[in-house]
Amino acid sequence: MVGAKSITDQCRSNGLVSAAVVVAALYVGRDILLPFAISILLSFLLAPLVERLESWKFGRIPSVLTIVSVAFIAFTALAMVLAHQVYDLAYNLPDYKENIVAKVQTFQGDGTGVLSRVTKSVDEMRAMLAARPDEHTAGYPPSSERDAEDVGVRDSSDGAKQLKIGYGGEDAAKPVLVEVVETLSANEIAQGILGPLLSPLASAAMVIVLLIFMLLKREDLRNRLIHLIGGGQLNLTTQALNDAAGRVSRYLLMQLIINSAYGLVICVGLVLIGLPNALLWGAFTALLRFVPYVGPWIAALMPIAISLAVFDGWLQPALVLTLFVVNELISNNVIEPWLYGSSTGISTIGILASAVFWTWIWGPLGLVMATPLTVCLTVVGRYVPQLAFLNTMLSDEDALPPQARFYQRLLAMDPEEATEVAEDFLATSSLAELYDTVLLPALSLAELDRHRGDLDDEKQRFVLQITREIVEDLGERVSVVASDNDEALDAQSPQAVSTSEKAPILCLPARDEADEIAGMMLVQLLTQRGVGARVVSTKSLSGEMIEQVAAESAAVVCVSALPPFAALHARYLCKRLRPRFPQLELIVGLWQTGGVTKKTADRLTATGIGKLITSLSDAAEELEHLSRKTTVGQSDHVPVSAA
């Protein structure tokens, strides 16, 4: 045990060290890795277009060069237009100074407002600090007096005027400020202009070269990647690559279409409002919309601020804000669900965390690429067992299945959230699926913990009580629906057989309360189908249950047994029922999703049961069939006591 724990601790330490090394490598090597990542994402985006040209009998090289050239020309043209827009904005910005001052004065009012009083106080404190004597000039006369004493003019013997230089006398003079201007060489001027551009140009050239070769050799790169990470599992690796490529390509293409259309609508709207440089703000909005959640609102701040500076009134800024709000609502609630068809598979927390992480590692470009990079990591975590934690942390799938979440909330003594889990599941699934998938497995987990001694009496009672209350609440809804169905059936056909007139079905719990609750679920499903059934309480002993079968002339009996240890009690009850009622239709419901072993099935079959069923939905279907059969020939199926 100690050895296993030390191995686990060692593996955990190795994982933390590996993660730290990877993060450090991403940060230190960002100058190389960032262009490489951009090239990969662009290859996902442009590969479908290249394949389309190749399907039109273009060659591989002409197709790649054509697509890359068109993309480069479009990007360059857009960059030049935006640069002109930025220059125009910077040139005209001083013209808006008076309007900005007027807007600020509207907030200041007549000088009695809070803003005016704060500004006035700050100005007074600044004046007081500026008037404080400097420690280096203490003891000297004021500067005006010194200037009068230091500087003087006298006549020389030849009648020319001479400057008197000195301190405290008539010969003093002011110091003259001398500025030395250095001339720059042509090489230094070129370095000052081109130096800041060299790094972006080199990165752009690297992206273009990598992109071209990735598109030319995409099959070769795919095969090498499969060889590296496949580990002999070609099917699994192929699924991972196809899933990643499909998700990223779909995400990038749809985002490009949506963001471009979004920016175009913003541009047209701003033109109609009359805001200058509308094309700049439209492109700025389209770019920032790649940033999840906060991107559109960051993009909206600058146009709103410019509208406040350009226009005299408040109508145009309000129209700009309304334009962004309406556009965002339509895009999020109509356009994106329609075009995406499915989500990227990343949770909201995962998107925000990835945005923070990639911004910290790679700056603003990392923020733009955060979502597609996280999609790739999520897919890798789904198919690579060693990286499964990535899928758990980032994906939008539930970390726990519904039955585990339901049972966990019961263990936490939280009935409200446990009920919410059941209600949420029922909203998209049937009642039978809720019982088979959530409630029964949760009860099985509780039974297993109880028999192992991991569940104390208080929590055991709480789990059973809340589960019973949920089942009873759902049963009331089922009863209302069944009553309405019976009334409609009677109105259509007065001769039809009602639920109460059908052959009764008794559900006997094998031993404890969990078996009884499972029987309640089965009775509700039968009630939904219009079949009369009743569950016997666990307060009755096994002998009393057998007497109830005889007293009610039940034609069909289902023994409800919840694993893991109920099969023995179910077999004991069947051994007592079969000799007493030889003609009884006897079914055992051993409620477990994993099926039963052959040994268990053979032992139960040896008791003379008619059928062994493991799910409530199958049991309801089988019992409905038996109920109809016994209704037609009830006289031949009434159980006769052998006693």
Mean pLDDT value across residues 41-57: 87
280 and 385 part of one domain? yes
- Whether 595 maps to a domain, the answer reads yes
Domain boundary among 93, 113, 137: 93
276 and 418 part of one domain? no
d(CA 377, CA 391): 8
- Whether 511 maps to a domain, the answer reads yes
Mean pLDDT value across residues 600-619: 87
424 and 356 part of one domain? no
Give the residue, 89 or 104, on which the prediction is more confident.
Answer: 89
Domain boundary among 56, 74, 93: 93
41 and 75 part of one domain? yes
Mean pLDDT value across residues 452-467: 89
Read off φ and ψ for residue 413, nearest 5 degrees.
60, 45
Q: How far, rounded to the nearest angstrom, does the alpha carbon of residue 486 sit from its chain's CA centroid?
A: 45
Give the residue, 402 or 12, on which the prediction is more confident.
Answer: 402
273 and 330 part of one domain? yes
Close Cβ partners of 275 (under 8 Å, ≥ 6 residues apart): 281, 303, 306, 307, 310, 316, 320
Residue-by-residue DSSP string for 28-68: HTHHHHHHHHHHHHHHHHHHHHHHHHHHTT--HHHHHHHHH
**pLDDT the model gives residue 489:** 41
Number of helices and strands (H, E) in the chain? 26, 7
Is residue 533 packed enough to be buried (19+ CB in 10 Å), middle (13-18) or exposed (0-12)? buried
- Whether 522 maps to a domain, the answer reads yes
Full residue range of the structural domain in which residue 481 is found: 411-636
- Whether 603 maps to a domain, the answer reads yes
562 and 596 part of one domain? yes
Minimal CA–CA distance to 577: which of 509, 511, 485, 641? 641
> In a 3-state reduction of DSSP, which class is residue 587?
strand
CA 560, 566, 570, 571 torsion-angle sign: positive
Domain boundary among 77, 93, 109: 93
463 and 499 part of one domain? yes
Q: Output the pTM of the full model.
A: 0.62
The tally of domains found in the chain comes to 3
Q: How many angstroms separate the Cα of 524 from the Cα of each of 519, 578, 621?
A: 9, 26, 13
Q: Contact at 8 Å (CB) between 297 and 308?
A: no
Work out the number of other CB atoms within 10 angstroms of the CB of residue 551: 8
- Joined together, the tokens standing for residue 69 give 């050239």
Give the residue, 450 or 385, on which the prediction is more confident.
Answer: 450
**pLDDT the model gives residue 594:** 67
Mean pLDDT value across residues 131-143: 51
- Whether 226 maps to a domain, the answer reads no
- Whether 493 maps to a domain, the answer reads yes
CA angle 415, 421, 426 (to 5 degrees): 125
- Whether 25 maps to a domain, the answer reads yes
Using one digit for the tens of pLDDT, what is the confidence trace for 401-440? 899 999 999 999 999 999 999 999 998 889 999 999 999 9
- Local confidence band at 368 (pLDDT 50, 70, 90 cut-offs): confident
Using one digit for the tens of pLDDT, what is the confidence trace for 178-223? 555 566 566 666 666 666 777 778 888 889 999 999 999 888 887 8
**pLDDT the model gives residue 151:** 46
Mean pLDDT value across residues 279-286: 88
- Whether 261 maps to a domain, the answer reads yes
Give the residue, 457 or 596, on which the prediction is more confident.
Answer: 457
435 and 353 part of one domain? no
Q: Contact at 8 Å (CB) between 592 and 565?
A: no
386 and 436 part of one domain? no
Using one digit for the tens of pLDDT, what is the confidence trace for 105-136? 665 555 555 556 656 666 776 676 666 555 44
